[in-house]
Chain A
């Protein structure tokens, strides 16, 4: 039975931007784990580091990419960890085990969210259409992440490089809407 398991994504079958200035790809089934805990608790920080191999980013609006994990600052006591598909299971277990007895929260949200990668010379223009965040390189650069809004959707966006490429994370049930919005927004840029 197991080999017939069909996975679906809300982005299945959706059209991509037609032109060459904006590219849009789904980062299918990326593992995602929400971690919450007290950043002032050194024990918490070190236990987490033991599992992740990198320090939790404590500077707002930054993320750190380690080997298996990319850890995004979400709020003063909240992080979003991305890992490869199905990597979330082991991660959740490892974190829960490591944090036993420390007040914290580890939640698998791999399917709560969908991540899409938006890139290309006109990517910024596309983002500017729906988000009030300042994406100018002076304000938002590779290495940064932020929660913001795109039209009606709440998104988390991180910039990966200067191409520019972005990972945009959105709730499953808003993903189709956001994707289609991006495609339509990209149309005029060819």
Chain B
């Protein structure tokens, strides 16, 4: 019983190659070239899934990416993929698909009960209930969530790879039907760079489904082949099958998703990426997306077996599959007659139900000539069958088409092929800010004008004749190329493609039934989200009149198909209810992506190790050897501490800190930002940038500075050294390096261009080994030719010379309060010098320490860390650093802000030291200080602990914090209540806990 619906010949599938696949656990066969849809239909499988809300049986509706119903879970385990549209899944051997939204099976789905209860679940029912008892919502929500959703997310990591690609082109053609091919052809011939993207595996669009079309007297597909062959021969033309143009952003930036290896089957792509995400900047865009057929809105029009007429035709002609034996074609226009005729030729019993009173013309004659029965002025009032359509009931329409009258008649049917006209695919145009126009004749929206350079052609532009499509395509290709600077704009003659003319449509947006709307069968306009015509009436009744409210109230158009088949119908129904013209109702906004876009593809290679750079210094290999534990500071990996046999962080840090002050310690300070500043106005410039004075700094001397933004708040700090009269070397915090460099450039380039100053960032030029501790001088002396005599090389000075045989700049600056040297060498020598210092340091008991110990050591000295002890709301005065604010400078950045009433107010939060009563208690950073402890919150808080450590050198815990009116509170005893309920008494102190006079540094 395999492939019972497969025709004995015809179609574009490769019958020589059988492909096995499973659906819902059952194994089937199809052919190479099939889609999952066509293969299922070939096997007479119509029930493919269950609907979102009512869990109604659903089957294949379309043959394209607009499919709202037949969406399945593909694959298993780490390659499972939910919500796959079966017409877009190319069949491969071993494909596994499962029906979604049903349990235990698609055939028997418990959730189907929802359908029985559906009258209680109209649109928006959940807004009206589940409110009582008050606490119960959580429970209701749990049930709602479990029954909503569609497929299952994988729970394992994706084993596949993805790639991105940036490209530039002169002309991007979206859509590879006849119109797009024609456009690509004329554009390509000019030598312009052309990209032609087609969502399907094959080019040709509707022509693939049309066995009779001819171009220049030959089968139309020959023209397609010839055109493709010519395009392939053009060097500057890129042809992309299986590539969906997903979005049209500003300035003609478009994205496209190429499914590179999906069709080969899971895991068969080798080194190729699974999908490739194209980011395209196009000078000109030709939109040739074609048109999508509209469903008819009749009773129970969602049964498996009810399909778009054009889709039925596609399955017959393109795949050699006749989806059923009894085909009822239900239409309001001539295009579906082609389906009737092709189905008839393929051996089906065909009946046409046409709502038009007197359809006439060539197409009708052709059908009649084949003795196809045509019921005119008749409506399908409903379908029979549950899991699969078994028949239709038809009744004559009243004259105004608003009702039915007379006798109902039943026709056996296993397929209903419906058409109520065509909607040009205007999504990309519209995403690209194109303005739409409603075309009364076509009864659909068509492109009007757009601010970006694009041309819409073919069925997507409302042109439904083959010759018209060819001619628009050819013209658009030349025009687009010419506008991009290629070719002369001359358009070749349009090849002849005669067709029988099509007659007019009869528009009945809603097909009446024998029972009033909402009381009998459901008329679905939106299949995926189970939204019915009655729901639109309900929405209007309740005031959700605007199309945007309609959408959100009924969820119409919000499914994975984004309303491709439903939008225009919904708008039209609303216009009828409101009795206004369709354009008055308007459309909802088209948004990217055109069809859903794989997240992994958008991420491309930027996953895992390539997600974000890990910046490392030259010393990193040694850090690894030494067993460093790292801290992420910005993108840098900085050693946080160096644990020794089994030490935890606390133990390691206590040891490191103690040893630094006893012997000597070394830290990798390479990540600090560094900027080389040169020019006659450099000192003047620093005077504006920093709060303190710079003009008088001597050459070879260094100075600490604070930077404020114009709000007067501290945002970075660091030491800057005068290397020469006009030459400075600035350092910044690790995290602030980029910000400060930009800050300097901004002021120089935009505000003070007359200042003669150049800045160049040199952060990684210099690897920095920072030696700290009483033995640092002795240690360094072993490796350097610089005179380290403290009389000659004083604190806050810089000397050049050699260290460990390489040229070095040594700065005598300290963040620990010890004798300290920051040894800067070209980065390539960083490891060499570091290793040499380790080696030489052995006899001095050198200890390596990381950022954590650095934090403790500086806190012992009351030095701040910008970003930890400041938070963007702190002035230098708040830090008790008025000494660093140049009193005699007329101006510097942020200065004026200090005088504002709030900024100059007493009692602001101020940085102070905080000592716990119990010296063993280390307060958690972030804890808050209060005056009065209450039984429970709320309590008035005075401020928080910004830094807090156990200090081995002070021999107790120490902390700093920003406390309201802190300077006046020194000596006060306050409390720190913790979240666990404990309370600690603290005293407010000066924040310098160690070597208050600073003797060690200068020593």
In the complex, the answer to whether B758 meets A173 with C-beta atoms within 8 Å is no
Instruction: State in angstroms the CA–CA spacing of A181 and B452 once bound together.
Output: 34
Residues A106-162 near B (CB distance < 8 A): 106-113, 125, 128-134, 136, 138-139, 151-153
Query: B806 to chain A: which residues have CB within 8 Å?
Result: 5
Query: Separation in Å of the B580 CB from the closest CB of chain A?
Result: 46
Name the B residues within 8 Å of A2 (CB-CB): 805
CA distance A2 to B831 in the complex (A): 14
- CB of A8 within 8 A of chain B? yes
The residue that A173 contacts in the complex, of B272, B613, B680, with Cβ under 8 A, is B613
B271, A109: Cβ atoms closer than 8 Å: no
A177 / chain B contacts, CB cutoff of 8 Å: 610, 613-615
Contacting pair A111 B765 (CB below 8 A): yes
Q: Give B473 Cβ to nearest chain A Cβ, in Å.
A: 25
Q: In chain B, what residue has the closest Cβ to A110?
A: B826
Residue B763 lies at the interface, judged by CB distance under 8 Å to chain A: yes
Given A5-B805, A129-B604, A151-B606: A176 and B168 interface contact (C-beta under 8 Å): no
Tell me if B610 and A110 are in contact (CB < 8 A).
no
Closest to A134 in B: B168
Asked if B758 and A36 sit within 8 Å, CB to CB, the answer is yes
Nearest CB in chain A: distance from B720 CB, A: 16
Q: What separation, in Å, do the CA atoms of A106 and B723 have in the docked complex?
A: 13
A70 within 8 A of B: no
A7/B829 in contact, CB under 8 A: yes
The answer to whether B605 has its CB under 8 Å from any CB of chain A is yes
Say yes or no for A1: interface residue by CB 8 A criterion.
Answer: yes
- Expressed in whole angstroms, the minimum distance between the Cβ of B979 and any Cβ of chain A is 38
Cα of A177 to Cα of B610 in the assembled complex, Å: 7
A15 near B: Cβ within 8 Å?
no
Q: How far is the CB of B573 from chain A (nearest CB, A)?
A: 44
Which residues on B sit within 8 Å (CB–CB) of A138? 193
**Interface stretch (choices B38-46, B439-447, B461-469, B616-624):** B616-624
**Nearest Cβ in chain A — how far from B250, in angstroms?**
14
B612's partner among A1, A8, A134, A152 (CB-CB below 8 A) is A152
Q: How far is the CA of A111 from the CA of B621 in the complex (A)?
A: 17
Question: B605, A107: Cβ atoms under 8 Å?
Answer: no
Residues in A with CB closer than 8 Å to B613 are 152-153, 173-174, 176-177
- Chain B residues 794-832 with CB under 8 Å of chain A are 804-806, 826-832
Dominant secondary structure at the B interface: mixed
Give the residues in chain A near B271, CB-CB below 8 Å. 187-188, 190
Q: Inside 8 A of A188's CB, which chain B residues have their CB?
A: 163, 271-273
Q: Which residues of A sit under 8 angstroms from B758, Cβ to Cβ?
A: 36, 77, 103-105
For B5-49 the 0/1 string (1 means CB < 8 A from A) is 000000000000000000000000000000000000000000000
Measured in the bound complex, the distance between the Cα atoms of B613 and A190 in whole Å is: 25
B139 interface residue, CB < 8 Å from A?
no
Interfacial chain A residues near B680, Cβ < 8 Å:
103
A109-B765 in contact (CB<8A): yes
B272 touches A111 (CB 8 A): no
CB distance from A109 to the nearest CB of B (A): 6
Q: Who on chain B is nearest to A18 by CB? A: B271
Q: For residue A166, give the distance in angstroms from its CB to the closest CB of chain B.
A: 15
CB distance from B1001 to the nearest CB of A (A): 30
Mark interface residues in A72-96 (1 if CB within 8 Å of B CB, else 0).
Answer: 0000010000000000000000000
Q: Are A105 and B636 in contact (CB under 8 A)?
A: no
Chain B residues closer than 8 Å to A112, beta-carbon distance:
761-765, 827
Interface assignment of B678: CB less than 8 Å from any CB of chain A: yes
Is there contact, CB below 8 Å, between A132 and B279? yes
Interchain CB contact under 8 A, B765 and A5: no
Which residues of chain A come closer than 8 Å to B766, judged between CB atoms?
A: 111
Q: Of A109, A153, A185, which is within 8 A of B762 by CB? A: A109
User: Nearest chain A CB to B20's CB is how many angstroms away?
Assistant: 29
Interface check B980, CB cutoff 8 A: no
Q: If the complex has contacts A109-B762, A129-B163, A136-B193, are A174 and B615 also in contact, measured as CB distance less than 8 A?
A: yes
Chain A residues, Cβ within 8 Å of B614: 176-177
Query: In the docked arrangement, what's the CA distance between A106 and B635, Å?
Result: 28
| Nearest A residue (CB) for B767 | A111
Q: Is B676 an interface residue (CB 8 A)?
A: yes
Contacts of B831 in A (CB 8 A): 6, 8
Asked if B765 and A10 sit within 8 Å, CB to CB, the answer is no
When the two chains form their complex, are residues A105 and B678 in contact, meaning their CB atoms are under 8 A apart?
A: yes
B830 touches A8 (CB 8 A): yes
Contact B605 A129 (CB under 8 A): yes
Given A8-B618, A111-B827, A112-B762 in contact, is the A184-B610 Cβ separation under 8 Å?
yes
Smallest beta-carbon distance B506→chain A, Å: 51
A9 within 8 A of B: yes
Instruction: Kindly state the separation between the CA atoms of A2 and B756 in the bound complex, as whole angstroms.
Output: 40
Q: Among residues 749 to 763 in chain B, which have CB atoms less than 8 Å away from a CB atom of chain A? A: 756, 758, 760-763
Q: Bin chain B's interface residue count.
A: 35 or more
Q: Which chain A positions have C-beta within 8 A of B761? A: 112
Name the B residues within 8 Å of A111 (CB-CB): 764-767, 826-828
Return chain A residues, CB-CB under 8 Å to B362. Answer: none
- B684 vs chain A, min Cβ distance (A): 13
A105 to B745, CA, bound (A): 14
Checking B609, B615, B760, B804 against A105 with a beta-carbon cut-off of 8 angstroms, the contacting residue is: B760
Known: A107-B676, A129-B166, A181-B610. A173 touches B765 (CB 8 A): no
Q: A109 and B760 in contact (CB under 8 A), knowing A172-B827, A174-B615? A: yes
B165 cross-chain contacts in A, Cβ below 8 A: 125, 128-129
Q: Does B651 contact A (CB under 8 A)?
A: no
- B164 at interface, CB cutoff 8 A: yes
Alpha-carbon gap, A112 to B761, bound state (A): 9
Q: Determine which of A8, A133, A180 lies in contact with B828 in the assembled complex, contact meaning CB atoms within 8 Å.
A: A8
Given A112-B765, A181-B605, A173 contacting B168 (CB threshold 8 A): no
A7-B828 CB under 8 A given contacts A172-B764, A176-B616: yes
Q: Which residues of B contact A187 (CB under 8 A)?
A: 271
Chain A residues, Cβ within 8 Å of B827: 111-112, 172
Cβ of B679 under 8 Å from chain A: yes
- Of chain B, the residue at the smallest CB distance from A125 is B165
Are B832 and A5 in contact, with the CB atoms below 8 A? yes
Given contacts A36-B760, A109-B762, A173-B617, contact A136 B828 (CB under 8 A): no
Q: How far apart sit A1 and B975, CA to CA, in the bound complex (Å)? A: 58
Q: Is B167 an interface residue (CB 8 A)?
A: yes
Q: Which residues of A contact B604 (CB under 8 A)?
A: 129
Cβ of A128 and Cβ of B826 under 8 Å apart? no
In the bound assembly, the distance between CA atoms of A128 and B193 in angstroms comes to 15
Which residue of chain A has its CB nearest to the CB of B678? A105
**Roughly how many angstroms separate A104 CA and B682 CA in the complex, as a whole number?**
12
CB pair A5 B760 closer than 8 Å: no
Q: Give A172 Cβ to nearest chain B Cβ, in Å.
A: 4
In this complex, what residue of B is CB-closest to A37? Answer: B758
The interface bits of chain B over 137-174 (1 if a CB of A lies within 8 angstroms of the residue's CB, else 0) are: 00000000000000000000000000111111000000
Which residues from chain A contact B830 at a C-beta distance below 8 Å? 8
Is B166's CB under 8 angstroms from A131's CB? yes
Given contacts A1-B805, A171-B764, contact A185 B163 (CB under 8 A): yes
CA distance in complex: A106, B756 (Å): 14
Q: What residues on B are CB-neighbors of A106 within 8 Å?
A: 678
With A7-B829, A8-B831, A129-B164 already in contact, the answer to whether A110 and B765 are too (CB < 8 A) is yes
Chain B nearest CB: distance from A58 CB in Å?
17
Most chain B CB within a 10 A radius of its CB, from A138, A172, A180: A172
23 contacts between A and B (CB under 8 A): A6-B831, A8-B832, A36-B758, A103-B680, A104-B758, A105-B679, A105-B758, A109-B765, A110-B826, A111-B764, A111-B827, A112-B761, A113-B764, A125-B165, A130-B166, A133-B166, A136-B193, A139-B168, A171-B763, A173-B613, A173-B616, A184-B610, A188-B163
Q: A105-B758, A152-B612 are in contact. List 6 more A-B contacts (CB 8 A).
A: A10-B618, A77-B758, A103-B679, A104-B758, A107-B762, A173-B764
> Which 8 residue pairs of A and B lie closest in terms of their CB atoms, listed nearest first?
A173-B615, A177-B613, A111-B827, A105-B758, A172-B764, A112-B765, A134-B168, A105-B678
